[in-house]
Structure 1
């Protein structure tokens, strides 16, 4: 078109040479030069924009998932899959863009999510240089595989260990040696526990009337545990029934020597001593354990009666008063205190004590007659 315009301009310049009345010369004019853009350039511009957009999409599209692809360009892939989520500061760098993956990956899907997280693929660098792309953040370092520790099953002593290997540490901690019976372990009883078992067996024999066998079991119990009070008292009772008072007294004294707080043993020993005519030793036996039996009215009344026999009436009255404070309806104790009061020449108090004893209703006919006689003397 420009060539044609040039030619027409030359003709127009030579128009003056043509006759003015020439009709052909008047009709031929040069086309004026156009100042606008030709439409073809608009078409080219649109094609360029579309091509640039397509190229940009190809460069910035997400990386295809290579899970189903066996290899890239014939090179085997090595996958390091993260076993734990990436740190917060690397969360934005996890997605892998398409520029980092060779373009010729068979089976890749173009519809992948833009920011999908895919496993990090480490492959040898391609021979040809990668196209230049815009500067971007460096990809995160591949996570090291998490070491998997072997699972250690708990040791089961009853299955994987022998009873002897289990018994050693157990015996060191508890102080008692276990006895292995097959796969089970039976804890050996301590001497006090064995003594208690022997004592219970002896009580069963006593209920059956087998006193001799029961005495043997009780002796075995005391040999295992000399502090077993029940076994000692039961054996003393069997010995007293068999009129073996010396052996019974010996056992009672041995028990008191080990534990003076056993008031029951003190009363048994004092009673045996009284029967043997040993009044003062009996009083001493009871006084030795009095601090442990100051709240027991029977113990106090028994010692008061022995003091009365020993002509110690003031001490007897004091002990009777303490006993009657804890059991004021005992007529026998009122009568005993009245006797000591009368012996101490405290007649008015003695008469009142005799009346309290008679009013208790706990005296036998013989004792009531004795009280009446004493009241008559005091009148």
Structure 2
């Protein structure tokens, strides 16, 4: 439970300075999330911009090199003109030959003269015509092919990435298919730790949640998940996981204390949470003092005195607990006992300067 201990200690350290102004009650402050910079996005944007600039420059350079010259265009136009006029005489001569032939003989002899062969006469000119046209058509086709060749990988890259991720996920599922739920949970937990070390917080959270789905009693995964959720200001989700943990095992005193602290921030049922765990933590001095502070916060001083005294019987040298006991005794008008408790807190030598000043002021307020 070292992680839970650390989170409680951090919260206690933040709230100890405000005990005086709160009448001895613990001031609860929300845990702030660590914001991680994302330099990878800048690198990706820079790379994409470089590729786009390169592609545009290549297209313009290709157009400049393959643009046909004006002389070639004029030559092609001159060469193309006779090619259009030359077939006209052939078309005029062909009908008389067909008309002069008797109707009976026309069908067998019509294919023989092969009027279709007349157009090859201007073949020299016809061959010249495409020469002027080819340079304008070929570059257009080559440019479109080049553009398709360059753009296709760019368009396909996200799908390729998704395909790669999908293949890895399928391979992972196939590898875990024959394992038990406990073994699958352990594998997911290790993947979650790797994702957390690489800074992929959302992936890590998903992995730890899957771990708990396979094995709800995986305490290491639950504690790590709760810590990540609190750091990322997802306290409500963290509280749900803590409630699930306590439902499985209500004897987790530190888990109950952490849940109660978050519930106090939201004016929730913190005391109810602690009292459900109390039968399993009656001999835990820290737990009894924490419950006493929660009761004192709700002005339930008689119950707070009972739990402070129980905590001090288990660990008598805690000056903060003596101070808390003195506050509740003073509220109950048990001034003599309150003075004794404040003196114990003052002479214990473990109070911060602010709390030391607070205790001295309380002693001055008590009647002699």
Q: Which has the higher strand share?
A: 1
Q: Which has the larger radius of gyration?
A: 1
TM-score (norm 2): 0.48
TM-score (norm 1): 0.47
Higher relative contact order (CA 8 A, sep 6+): 2
